[in-house]
Amino acid sequence: SYANAWFTEDEVSKSVSALAGMLNEADLDKWFDNIEVASSPKTVGLILAGNIPLVGFHDVMCVLATGNIALIKLSSSDDKLLPFLLKQLCEFEPKLSEHIIYAERLKDFDAVIATGSNNTSRYFEYYFGTVPNIIRKNRNSVAIITGEESEEEIALLGHDILDYFGMGCRSISKIFIPKNYDIKFFFEPLEKYKDIINHFKYNNNYDYNKSIYLVNLQAHYDNGFILLKEDEGFSSPLAVLYYETYENLEDVAAKLTAQQDQIQCIVSKSSLGTLPVSAFGESQHPKLWDYADNVNTIEFLNQLN
């Protein structure tokens, strides 16, 4: 059995292959051009999330790449994979082991990068406000559908929605659809993902949310493994995708611009003014320089010295 029931073999292998794609030689060369290695290493406390496998790897890598010391507080949800991966790294480069420390409680640090929820962020700000910090809160990702997408594109969007059971901050939790859009054009290409419902924890969430909508007579669409509900919010429950209808893309762009602090990633084939957009199927494959919350971790670490 798995230490974390959400981290199935499939999900872990998706995460590892996304990391392998991120760490290609050309991108690494380009990324390292902006990195200054610390002359006197600082200790950077890392409070890592555990919502998807190896989600904390990028922060650890940024700290190590800048020559600093990673003081790591692992998430109890992801406390096996990351130490295993870092152990492999240290076999390639034994010196790195001097720069990796695991701790249950953070103390004696020069800076902190903490990833959590809107609730924990208040606690983090209280505890870590006196040192340079990056404190991350809840964020969600959205997709814009115009009605001109091919079946292949919607099928790719299925990865953005359902990979990691929709638990990543880069997982699509809401779609914007044109008024009078026929939902069957969205549901049909997603059929290839129907086996997700066989995962007992996902199934429990699906059943629970479905029963609430039925009891409360709340309108929703249901394809047997994902519920689609109209909602102004961004943060949908597990196994639920929110949707909102629009008349023109400018309105959507304006809404997303105004609420940028809640958005991690936007998937769209149309450009949305100055907002950065990802292609269908790409939200879970960030580049090295796609920093969480749009805060450049490397710049932050460079400034410590």
Q: What number of CA atoms fall less than 13 Å from residue 239's CA on the CB side?
A: 24
21 and 79, same structural domain? yes
CA distance 257 to 239: 26
Q: Assess if residue 292 is contained within a domain.
A: no
Helices 57-65 and 81-92: crossing angle in degrees, nearest 10, is 30
98 and 40, same structural domain? yes
Q: Assess if residue 210 is contained within a domain.
A: yes
The tens digit of pLDDT for each residue in 139-150 reads 999 999 999 999
Taking CA atoms, 208 is separated from 157, 203, 211, 265, in Å, by 24, 8, 5, 27
53 and 14, same structural domain? yes
Radius of gyration of the chain (CA): 20
User: Is the per-residue pLDDT at 17 higher than 80?
Assistant: yes
Q: The CATH number of the domain where 27 resides is what?
A: 3.40.605.10
pLDDT of residue 148: 94
Q: What number of CA atoms fall less than 13 Å from residue 191's CA on the CB side?
A: 5
Give residue 173's Cα distance to chain centre: 11
Predicted TM-score (pTM) of this structure: 0.94
* Number of domains present in the structure of the chain: 2
CA distance 229 to 220: 5
237 and 123, same structural domain? no
147 and 96, same structural domain? no
259 and 236, same structural domain? yes
Q: Assess if residue 192 is contained within a domain.
A: yes
For residue 252, report the phi and psi dihedrals to the nearest 5 degrees: -65, -45
pLDDT of residue 2: 80
192 and 97, same structural domain? no
- The pLDDT mean for the chain works out to 96
Let me know: does 114 contact 134? Beta carbons within 8 Å: yes
Q: Assess if residue 303 is contained within a domain.
A: no
pLDDT of residue 179: 96
The DSSP 8-state label assigned to residue 278 in this structure reads B
Confidence grade of residue 34 (pLDDT, cut at 50, 70, 90): confident
User: Is the per-residue pLDDT at 29 higher than 90?
Assistant: yes
pLDDT of residue 68: 98
CA distance 111 to 54: 22
For residue 240, report the phi and psi dihedrals to the nearest 5 degrees: -120, 140
Residue that terminates a domain, selected from 80, 111, 138: 138
Greater pLDDT, 273 or 114: 114
Q: Hey, is 149 helix, strand or coil? A: coil
The tens digit of pLDDT for each residue in 182-208 reads 999 999 999 999 999 999 999 999 999
What residues contact residue 83 under an 8 Å CB cut-off, 6+ apart? 74, 102
128 and 37, same structural domain? yes
122 and 74, same structural domain? yes
Confidence grade of residue 305 (pLDDT, cut at 50, 70, 90): confident
What residues contact residue 75 under an 8 Å CB cut-off, 6+ apart? 48, 49, 50, 56
Q: The CATH number of the domain where 216 resides is what?
A: 3.40.309.10
CA distance 164 to 112: 27
Q: Assess if residue 290 is contained within a domain.
A: no
Q: Assess if residue 172 is contained within a domain.
A: yes
pLDDT of residue 1: 54
User: Is the per-residue pLDDT at 291 higher than 80?
Assistant: yes
125 and 68, same structural domain? yes
Mean pLDDT, range 17-46, rounded to an integer? 95
pLDDT of residue 59: 98
CA distance 185 to 187: 6
pLDDT of residue 178: 97
Strand arrangement, sheet containing 227-230: 221-222, 227-230, 240-246, 172-178, 140-144, 263-267
Q: Which domain holds residue 100?
A: 9-138
User: Is the per-residue pLDDT at 214 higher than 80?
Assistant: yes
Residue 207's identity, in one-letter code, is D
200 and 114, same structural domain? no
In angstroms, the first-to-last Cα distance of the chain is: 45
246 and 185, same structural domain? yes
Q: Assess if residue 278 is contained within a domain.
A: no
Residue 168 Ramachandran class (φ > 0 left, ψ -120 to 50 alpha, else beta):
beta
User: Is the per-residue pLDDT at 41 higher than 90?
Assistant: yes
Mean pLDDT, range 2-15, rounded to an integer? 95
Percent of the chain with pLDDT over 90: 95
